[in-house]
Chain A
Amino acid sequence: NAGVTQTPKFRILKIGQSMTLQCTQDMNHNYMYWYRQDPGMGLKLIYYSVGAGITDKGEVPNGYNVSRSTTEDFPLRLELAAPSQTSVYFCASSYSPLGGGGRNEQFFGPGTRLTVL
Chain B
Amino acid sequence: KNEVEQSPQNLTAQEGEFITINCSYSVGISALHWLQQHPGGGIVSLFMLSSGKKKHGRLIATINIQEKHSSLHITASHPRDSAVYICAVRSVGGNQFYFGTGTSLTVIP
Which residues from chain A sit less than 8 Å from chain B, CB to CB? 33, 35, 40-45, 48, 56, 58-59, 88, 90, 92, 97-100, 104-108, 110-111
Contacts and interface: CB of A to CB of B under 8 A. Distances in A.
Interface string B25-36: 000001101010
A100 B30 contact: yes
Q: Interface range on chain B: under 10, 10 to 19, 20 to 34, or 35 or more? A: 20 to 34
B42 interface: yes
Contacts of B35: 106, 108
A45 B96 contact: yes
Interface of B: prevailing SS: strand
Contacts of B98: 42, 59
Contacts of A43: 86, 88, 97, 99
A108 B44 contact: yes
Given A100-B50, A104-B31, A104-B48, A42 B86 contact: yes
Contacts of B22: none
Contacts of A44: 99
